[in-house]
Amino acid sequence: MSSQVSFSSAGTSLTAAQVTSPTGLPYESGWIDTAGKYLPTHGLIDFRAKMPAGQGLWSGLWLLGVESPAKPEIDVQEMLLGNTTTAYGSLHDWNQDSSVWGETESGATPDASQGYNDYEVVWQPGMITWAVNGVAYAQYTSAQAAAAGQPWPFDSTGAYLIANLAVGSASSWGGAPTSSTSFPATVQLQSVKVWQ
């Protein structure tokens, strides 16, 4: 990996607020991406961010392929922010019938709401490794996918980078906010770096 692309994002924040959205939902939140601008295939991808804490908040730092329908998906970090010490890394392939398969791993992290951390994925041909602050906690390979009878679409296309903060509902993975969840809640994104 010899070259680095760095996105200056000092001061970039993604904020969830308890206000009615234009579509009538009880919250508004934020999402930024590099769609149509930057689509890496392979490399070390590093998101440096500080998370809010709160039941029902759900952060995502991820990559999404450009095939139609949008696939595959590499989740560098997802956190259900009712627990700010567990990060999840996942792989998903959305196939023709819109079902999803995934390999999800979790790793213990420093409290994400108390300071900035580096959420990283090393994306190599046939292998993806997840790390927090340079410490790897999971790895998945094309050989493991083949042994499980799954495809490995992660080397065939570029993917754009996404950072978002979502607010869940009672039926979503992390559940809905409670009366103790503070709004506005903000992900502070300090930098995004890619080495290829």
- Report, as residue numbers or ranges, the catalytic residues: 73, 78
Residues 15, 57 contacting (CB under 8 angstroms): no
Distance CA(112)–CA(183), nearest Å, equals 17
Specify the pairing of strand 73-80 against strand 57-65.
Answer: antiparallel
Distance CA(151)–CA(166), nearest Å, equals 29
Q: First-to-last CA distance in the chain?
A: 4
Strand partners, 15: 186
